[in-house]
Amino acid sequence: MKALGDPVSVRHQMTAVHRAVLETGGPVLKFNHPVLDNGARARMPVVVNVFGTVERVAAGLGVAPDGLDELGAFLAALRSPSAPDGLRDALSRWPMLKAALATRPKVVSRAPVQQVVSEKADLNALPVQTHWPGDAGPLITWPVVLTRPFGSEAADVNRMNAGVYRAQVIGHDRIIMRWLAHRGGAAHHRSWQAAGQKMPVAIVLGADPATLLSAALPLPETVSELGFAGVFSGARPRLVKARAVPLLVPADAETVIEGWVHPTETAPEGPFGDHTGYYNQAEPFPVMQVSAITSRTEPIYLSTYTGRPPDEPAIIGEVFNRLTLPIIRGQIPEIRDLWLPPAACSYRIAVIAIDKRYPGQARRVMMALWGMLAQFSYTKMIVVVDADIDPRNWDDIAWALATRMDPGRDVTVLEGTPMDYLDFASPKAGLAGKIGIDATNKIGAETTRDWGEVMQTAPEDAAFAADLLARRGLA
């Protein structure tokens, strides 16, 4: 971590410094003297770029980068568990079972996050950043938002949802909660709306990396994000009763904002710079009335920015790409590899390498992926290549497109499909087309011509060249 003692404004300046460091693969930054909008210095430092590299994201998940594939297999097993095949297989799964048992939270009576309790909330004292010149105001960017459905008990952790949503500060005690309709927080809010009741909400600031990443992972609905954080940290999560709302909150967080969301009150949220690299339009979202703020005695404020990649969410997306691959293979087994280019806003384009065995297989894989997970309904372009192509290498992809794809035969275009409403290229908000490109070798009924043979160096000649160059110091 690199500590900066210079005064840096939370309005625009902090984002500019963070972005310059992230784009060079730089360290975690700690701003010791954040300057608020009113010119005063904030009482807490700001830490950014925690997830600025793949290695640091993996560390937050409790693994080295080479352990991501095993963790992905674990997540796939959670979604589609299979019975152990004999005693040896059962024993080989013991580490996974042990980690799952460790997810049971422990409720404590006293917690570091409640060393300071303020029932007279002042959000303006927090070093909440205004990131871009066109932003509507201060925006909390790494909040873990805790909710539960109407009719549930405060102690029922398994029914709680932890999500990372955008939260706009619009006063000393009011926050706009931007949760989209398909997210867990929005579903819980609808249940309280139906009952005509306000919903308790807790916003966790400075959650540990395991909790924050669990809140962002595409976990099965039956798996608690708060509990699952124990798989990454290797310890049972510690929770404590919130002071002003009926919820449990992480005991070891830095700060917790507690309050209530009215069943019908909304306010226009935005515009804000988004992951697309554009400002989104203002739209109405629910408003949270803050009841209390609790914190450590000397808390830190964890923050980030969202913009055109690279940014921290895009880097997390690279890791999640690897974690979801075993889940995808469980449904579409012929997929060898899949890449979601970060520059394409993480999910707008997908490149898939497959083991091709029959005509039309590339199109089948496209359709299967578009319909498999909700996030892939927003993937506007899929390129399918053979297993000998590296889907993460643009040169390989360009070669496959140039030599194995005919535009008149191998392009599939769909119209009127779901799309992220932030995609301004769409003819209609939330509704757009999709394109699939088959850049695989054509077999069977797909072609009437003899297909070309790929040139390759013979293995013995490659070994001879490697040995010769090594002996001459040229390798």
Q: What residues contact residue 232 under an 8 Å CB cut-off, 6+ apart? A: 60, 61, 62, 209, 210, 213, 214
- CA torsion, points 436, 79, 210, 121, in degrees to nearest 10? 90
Is the bond into 309 cis (omega within 30 degrees of 0)? no
Q: Which residues contact 434 (CB under 8 A, 6 or more apart)?
A: 370, 379, 380, 381, 382, 413, 414, 417
Could you give the dihedral angle defined by the CA atoms of residues 229, 231, 237 and 242, in that order, rounded to the nearest 10 degrees? 20
Does residue 274 have an active-site annotation? yes
> Of 208, 274, 311, 420, which is the active-site residue?
274
Write down the number of H helices and E strands in the chain: 13, 21
End-to-end CA distance of the chain: 36
Residues 176/170, Cβ–Cβ less than 8 Å = yes
CA distances, 62 to each of 67, 70, 71, 213, 235 (Å): 9, 12, 10, 11, 11
Question: Does residue 334 contact residue 361 with C-beta atoms inside 8 Å?
Answer: yes
Spatial distance between the Cα atoms of 312 and 216, rounded to a whole number of angstroms: 12
Q: Residue 260's CB: how many other CB atoms inside 10 A?
A: 18
Q: What is the largest CA-CA distance in the chain?
A: 80
Active site members = 274
